[in-house]
A and B are shown apart, each in its own frame.
Chain A
Amino acid sequence: MMTSLGTGIAVGYLIFVALGLIISFAVLWSTRAGRRDKGQGVDVERAEKAEPWWGVFVVGLLAILLGLTIWRAPWFTENDDPKDVQVQVTGIQFGFLVQPTQVKAGEDVEFNVTSKDVNHAMGLYNPQGQMIMNVEAIPGYTISRSYRFTEPGTYEIRCLEFCGYKHHEMIYPAFQVTA
C-alpha cells in the first residue's frame, strides 16, 4: 500500500507517461501520411525554429517543479524547536539499538540516527506496512529527523542502506507508539 506521497508521485508520473505515449503514437501515425507524400509534406525549417521554444517550455515546467518542491527537501523541513522526545537510533551490523523504544501518539519525536560501523538507513514502517520515514545512518555523523505519530501501534524499522550479507535481516520489529 502506498503512502499519500507515493500515490501522488504515481498519479503525476502516469499522467505525463500517458501524454508522452499519445504524442509518440501521433508521431508514428504521421508516417502513414509521410508514405503517401514521400516525406515531402512537412516544413522542416519551421520545426527547427520551434525547437528553442520547446526547450523554453521544458525549462519552465522544471522551474515550476523546482519552486514547488525544493523547500520540501528533508534538510529544509527540520527546525530547531525543542521536541517532546529524543529517540536515539544506532545501526550496527546487523541490528538497531533504539532508545527509548516507546513514545506516545501526538508527541513531537526527534530521531537521532547514526551508525557504529558501516552505512545503514532507518526505514520506519507503520502498522499498515507503509514507509513513513527514511533516514541515513552514517558512521561518525548524526542525522536528526522529526515526526509526530498520530496512530498508535507497533512500528517496524528496516535497514534501507546496503550493509552486508545480513542486510535483509536488519529489522527492529517493535517500536511502540501508545495512545
Chain B
Amino acid sequence: MMTTAVPPVAPGALPYDDAEMPLALVQAKTRRLVLRVIWTSTAFLVVAGILGLLLRLRQAEVITLGDNFWYAVMTAHGLGAFIAWAGFFLMGITFWVLMKVGLPIRSFVLPEVMYWSMLLGVIGIVLTTLLSGFGGSWVFLYPLPFNSAGQWSDMVTGVFSISVLLAGVSILAYCSAVLHTCIGPGLKAKTDTVGQRVGLTFGFGLLFPSRFKTDRGKIPYPVLPFAVNAVDMFLATLPFALLLVFQVIESVNNGFSINVLLAGNLLWAFGHPVVYLLLFPAAATYYYLIPRYAGRELVAGKAVAVAWLIALTMNLFVWAHHLYMNYPDGENVQQTLGTIMQPTTYALVLPSALSLYSIAATIWRSDFQWNVASKFLIAGIVSWLVAGLQGIINATAAFQETLHNTLWVVGHFHNMAFLNMGLLIFGAMYAFLLELMGRGWWNERLGSWHLWGTVIGAYGWVTCQMIQGLEGAPRRWAVLPEQYLTLTHISVGFLALLVAAQLVFAYNLWTTLRKSPFDDPGAAMQGGTQR
C-alpha cells in the first residue's frame, strides 16, 4: 500500500509551517468542503472526458454523431473540462492550501455559494447543450447564439446564458472568499490596518519589508498567485457577465442586439484571464508542495513579488490577442488594441518564467522525495514550460495567419490545461488524500501506471493536434478534410492509452476508498472519515 502524502519537513525549514492552526471545527468544515469539491469536479471530469473522447472518435470516423449534436457535445466538453473540472477543483483546493499556510476560511457562506452556483450552472449547461441542442461552442461567438439555423431556440440560448452566469457567480464568490481570507488577520500585520493587510497580501511585504511588517517572518508565497487571481478574475468576470445579461435580454426581446465587435471584446475580457483561474492557483499549489518534497523553502526573492504585480495589472489587458485577426478596415481601435496587447501578453510570461526558475532552484541539488505525487508535479511543471513556449507563439500576431483557429490552438490549450494544471490536479489528489481522508493510496505501482499512461497518451494526442494545426487543420470541425485523417487515427491510439490510464486511476481510487485502512489517524483532520 502506498502512503504518498505531503511530507513533514524539519522544524523551521519552511517559515509558515509553524503558523497557528485554526480551530478544529474550521479544519473539519474546510476538509468537508474541499472533499465535496474534489468529488464533484472529478465527476465532471468523467463526463467531460467521455464527451471529449466522442469528439475525437467522430473526427476519426470511428463513430457517427449528428452534426449539431457533435457541436453541442463540443460546447459541453469545453465548459465541462475547463471550468467544471479543472477550474472548480483548483477553486476548492485553494482553501486547503490557504489553510495549510495559516489562512483558514473566515466565512463559509461564500464558498458554499461557490459550490452550489457552480453545480446548478453545470447542470444547466448540460441540459441546454446535450438535451436542448445548444451547440454554439464554449465561446458562443455573438451573434451565433441567435442564428442557430433552426438547431436551437432563442429561449435555449437564454437558459444557457443564465447557466453560464451561475458559473460566473461561482467564480465571483470564490474570488471574494479568497480575498476575504487573505486580507484577514492571518498574515499578522504589525500595524493592523486594511492598507497593511492588502499590502502584505499582494507581496509588498517582500518588496518593502520595513514598511509592511508582519509577525510571521515571511509571507507565504502561495498567497500571491491566489490573491492576484482573485482580483483579476473578479474584474474579468464582470464584462463577461454583462455579455451574458445582454444575451438573456435578447432571448426574450428580439429587437435587442449588440455590436459584434463589442461582444467579442466583452467575451475575451473574460475568456483569456479565465486561463489564469487555473494557472495561478496551480502555481500557488506548486509553491506549496514543491518545497515540501524538496525539503527547503521556495527559492524566491523580490523578483517573484514584482512578477505577480505585473500579472495583477497586465492580465486585464491581454484579451485582444484573441482578436488579432479581427482588424476591420477603418476600425483603428481594434488594430491599436492588437498592437498594444502583444507586449502586454508577453509580459505575462514573466510570472511563469520566474516561477519556473524558483521551482527549479528549489529542486536543484535538494534531497528531493520521489513518489507518485511529486512525479506528477514534476511532469506538470515541465508541461508548464512546454505549453508556455507555445503560448508565446500564440501571442505573436504575425504568426496568426498560420495558426489562428487551427488545431494547433486546441493542442496548445490541452497541453496547458490537461498536461500542466491537470497533472497538478492529479498530483494534488495523490498528495492530499492522506490528510484529507486519513488513508493512504492503495497501490503505488498503479499510481505510476497512471502517470506514464497519462503523460505518454496525452502528449501523443496533443502533438498530433499541433502538427495538424501547423498543416492548417481547422478547429471545431466535426468532420475534418481527408488530408488530416492519418494523424487523427494515430491520436486515437494515444487517446486509448490515456483512457486506460484513467481507468487504472479510477480503480486505484475506488479500491483506496473501499479497502485502504485508516492508516494515519494523525494526518486526518478533526472529524475525519473513519468507517
Contact = CB atoms under 8 A, between A and B. Distances in A.
Contacts of A59: 350
A71 to B, nearest CB: 8
Contacts of A158: 474, 481
A161 B366 contact: no
Interface stretch (B94-102, B248-256, B356-364, B441-449): B356-364
B299 A47 contact: yes
A165 B346 contact: no
A81 interface: no
Interface in B389-434: 389-390, 392-393, 396-406
Given A9-B399, A160-B474, A73 B324 contact: yes
A136 B397 contact: no
Nearest to B480: A168
Contacts of B480: 168
B493 interface: no
Interface stretch (B141-149, B208-216, B217-225): B141-149
Interface in B458-510: 467, 470-472, 474-481, 483
17 contacts: A5-B401, A9-B402, A27-B360, A31-B368, A39-B294, A51-B300, A51-B361, A54-B303, A73-B324, A118-B143, A118-B147, A123-B474, A131-B406, A134-B402, A135-B325, A136-B325, A138-B260
Interface string A144-179: 100000000000001111111111110000000000
Given A37-B365, A58-B349, A160-B404, 18 more contacts: A5-B399, A9-B399, A13-B390, A21-B382, A23-B360, A24-B381, A24-B382, A28-B378, A34-B365, A55-B306, A58-B353, A70-B343, A70-B397, A75-B338, A131-B402, A144-B329, A164-B144, A168-B480
Contacts of B307: 55
B67 A52 contact: no
Given A51-B354, A161-B141, A141 B261 contact: yes
Contacts of B40: none
Interface string A27-54: 1101101110111011010011101101
A165 B397 contact: no
B135 interface: yes
Interface in B335-354: 335, 338-339, 342-343, 346, 349-350, 353-354
Interface residues of A, number: 81
Interface of B: 67-68, 71, 135, 137, 139, 141, 143-144, 147-149, 151, 260-261, 294-297, 299-304, 306-307, 324-329, 331, 335, 338-339, 342-343, 346, 349-350, 353-354, 357-358, 360-361, 363-368, 370, 378, 381-382, 385-386, 389-390, 392-393, 396-406, 467, 470-472, 474-481, 483
Interface of A: 1-3, 5-7, 9-10, 12-13, 16-17, 20-21, 23-24, 27-28, 30-31, 33-35, 37-39, 41-42, 44, 47-49, 51-52, 54-55, 58-59, 62, 65-66, 69-70, 72-75, 93-94, 117-119, 121, 123, 125, 129-131, 133-136, 138-144, 158-169
A118 B264 CA distance: 12
B303 A51 contact: yes
The 5 A-B residue pairs with the shortest CB-CB distance in the complex, in nearest-first order? A131-B472, A141-B328, A72-B398, A73-B397, A165-B68
A151 B365 CA distance: 58
Nearest to B478: A168
A12 B386 CA distance: 13
A75 B323 CA distance: 12
A39 B366 contact: yes
B486 to A, nearest CB: 13
A115 B86 CA distance: 36
A47 B401 CA distance: 41
Nearest to A73: B397
Contacts of B477: 167-168
A76 to B, nearest CB: 8
A62 B144 contact: no
A133 B260 CA distance: 23
